[in-house]
């Protein structure tokens, strides 16, 4: 097999969705398995759909996923520039070649062009003299690729085998727009050839442009790379493929994204608490399977076992519960110290300046919940009261009638000089001999004052961790709130 060079070529028109990042993953795995190069190319010729920040988002997403780029806009390479908007001069000579060899022609079209047009009648009967006169007079034109009209073009896809195309059914595609920028059809083929791309691995949605690619390779007398069109990732709700134009209830982007136009924010898998290795492990199985029952593979493992022959031809339905399952598996593999580091990092990110808790107590909290949780966020959400004083949503009116008993809690804490939890527990239990209004006990009110609700871990475990000073502070805050 010739030297493997593959490319991931997204358009900076917004965030990457699951299908796009999976395409990047398969390209990366194939390149690394075969000691080849993984190239990032930004296809930004469609300026009308360009979104500021999208290119940076693409680079950050690949980095978060661990997909290291060998050549691209952010690093040096022998085949740059790696942004198509910086390659217009390169495309010009190839457009001239196509025009000179009658493989393309000028088309003077109205804004509302007919869907089916008669190429021969409208354009090919115009003499060169009339054509250049129109150009000099400033009449708007595009350049179209002349598609040979016959049945039976044989093309080959690595997964699907031989495909026979009826070229009579294809329109002549625009390869140069009226603003002078090349279209995807032209720029894509030229760049793949000049960058020595050996395998083109992209989504099934590009199958319709496959014959156009082949025509261009034939016109330029270039060797065609091996093409492989990946199956779709289907929406689990049964509404076609997953697309960034259809925002769903679960994340479809690797990282969060804010639309500057609408100011709408979208959560990514990173912001939802997923580990990048769990996200990648989940993603690789959406269209590929090595056989067997094993499902947990590190990126290093995947590189060693990945074969493009194992990619399925049929579409894969996304399963969000399975994504959670993968994260749970990776969560359980983390040590308590690793969870502690991530927990503190997440608290800092949320601007929660937690009460000073010793690491030994942090680890106790983690060990209580590690078997019940699959995400760092879950630990924080279930134990937020350890890290900040609660906000009280409702004031129990009946507390006013029982302030004397509740005030006695303060004296219990104040008189406990050595802060012995066992002594405090005994004294509170003595105080809690009868229910208030047959509903709330002193113990329950104490929990509300410390936690903010009736849920949470063992009350005296909570007191032992937040300490005497913080416990008193919260009790007094609660009493003041209820007055």
Q: Which residue has the tokens 């390479």?
A: 77
Phi-psi region of 438 (alpha: psi -120 to 50; beta: other; left: phi over 0): left
Characterize the bridge pairing of strands 199-203 and 142-145. unpaired
List, in order, residues 6 or more apart from 82 with CB less than 8 Å away: 39, 40, 41, 42, 71, 72, 73
Rounded CA separation 30/4 (Å) = 8
Query: What's the full length of the chain, in residues?
Result: 483
Q: Closest Cα partner for 367 from 465, 233, 237, 245?
A: 465
Q: Which of 51, 196, 244, 317 is catalytic?
A: 244
Q: For residue 204, count other CB atoms closer than 10 A to its CB.
A: 19
The string of DSSP letters for 236-258 reads TTSSSB--TTS--SS--BSS-EE
How far separated are the first and last CA of the chain, in Å rounded? 80
Given a contact cutoff of 8 angstroms between Cβ atoms, the answer to whether 235 and 40 are in contact is: no
The residues with which 311 forms a beta bridge, in sequence order, are: 288
Rounded CA separation 210/213 (Å) = 5
**Residue 164 DSSP symbol:** E
Phi-psi region of 238 (alpha: psi -120 to 50; beta: other; left: phi over 0): left
Residue 353 backbone phi and psi in degrees, to 5: -90, 85
134 tagged catalytic: no
Rounded CA separation 239/221 (Å) = 42
Given a contact cutoff of 8 angstroms between Cβ atoms, the answer to whether 265 and 255 are in contact is: no
List C-alpha distances in Å: 181 to 24, 45, 84, 115, 126.
Answer: 26, 6, 10, 22, 24
Q: Closest Cα partner for 66 from 243, 278, 225?
A: 278
**Positions marked catalytic:** 244
């Amino acid at each position: 097999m010739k030297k493997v060079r593959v490319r991931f070529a997204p358009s900076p028109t917004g965030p990457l969705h699951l299908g796009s990042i999976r395409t990047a993953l398969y390209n990366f795995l194939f390149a690394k398995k075969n000691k080849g190069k993984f190239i990032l190319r930004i296809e930004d010729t469609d300026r009308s759909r360009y979104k500021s920040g999208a290119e940076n988002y693409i680079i950050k997403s690949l980095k978060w996923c661990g997909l290291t780029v060998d050549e691209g806009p952010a690093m040096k390479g022998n085949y740059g520039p790696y942004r198509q908007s910086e390659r217009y001069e390169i495309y010009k000579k190839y457009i001239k070649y196509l025009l000179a060899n009658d493989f393309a022609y000028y088309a003077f079209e109205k804004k509302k062009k007919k869907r089916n047009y008669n190429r021969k009648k409208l354009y090919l009967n115009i003499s060169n003299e009339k054509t250049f006169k129109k150009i000099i007079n400033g009449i708007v034109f595009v350049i179209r690729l002349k598609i040979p009209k016959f049945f039976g073009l044989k093309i080959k896809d690595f997964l699907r085998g031989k495909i026979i195309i009826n070229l009579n059914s294809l329109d002549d595609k625009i390869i140069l727009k009226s603003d002078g920028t090349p279209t995807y059809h032209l720029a894509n083929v030229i760049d793949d050839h000049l960058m020595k791309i050996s395998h083109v691995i992209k989504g099934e949605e590009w199958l319709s442009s496959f014959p156009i690619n082949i025509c261009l390779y034939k016109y330029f007398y270039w060797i065609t790379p091996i093409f492989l069109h990946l199956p779709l990732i289907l929406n689990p709700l049964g509404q076609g493929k997953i697309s960034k134009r259809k925002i769903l209830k679960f994340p479809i982007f690797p990282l969060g994204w804010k639309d500057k136009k609408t100011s709408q924010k979208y959560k990514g898998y990173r912001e939802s608490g997923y580990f990048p290795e769990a996200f990648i492990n989940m993603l690789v199985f959406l269209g590929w399977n090595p056989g067997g029952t094993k499902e947990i593979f590190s990126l290093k493992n995947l590189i060693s076992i990945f074969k493009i022959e194992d990619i399925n031809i049929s579409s894969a339905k996304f399963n969000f519960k399975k994504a959670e399952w993968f994260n749970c598996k990776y969560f359980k593999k983390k040590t308590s110290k690793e969870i502690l580091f991530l927990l503190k990092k997440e608290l800092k990110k949320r601007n929660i300046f937690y009460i000073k808790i010793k690491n030994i107590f942090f680890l106790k909290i983690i060990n209580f919940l590690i078997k019940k949780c699959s995400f760092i966020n879950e630990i924080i959400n279930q134990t937020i009261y350890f890290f900040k004083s609660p906000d009280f949503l409702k004031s129990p009116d009946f507390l006013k009638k029982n302030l004397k008993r509740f005030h006695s809690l303060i004296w219990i804490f104040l008189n406990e000089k050595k802060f012995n939890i066992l002594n405090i527990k005994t004294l509170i239990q003595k105080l809690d001999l009868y229910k208030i209004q047959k509903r709330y006990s002193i113990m329950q009110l104490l929990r509300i004052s410390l936690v903010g609700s009736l849920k949470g871990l063992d009350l005296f475990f909570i007191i032992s961790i937040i300490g005497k000073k913080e416990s008193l502070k919260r009790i007094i805050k609660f009493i003041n709130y209820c007055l």
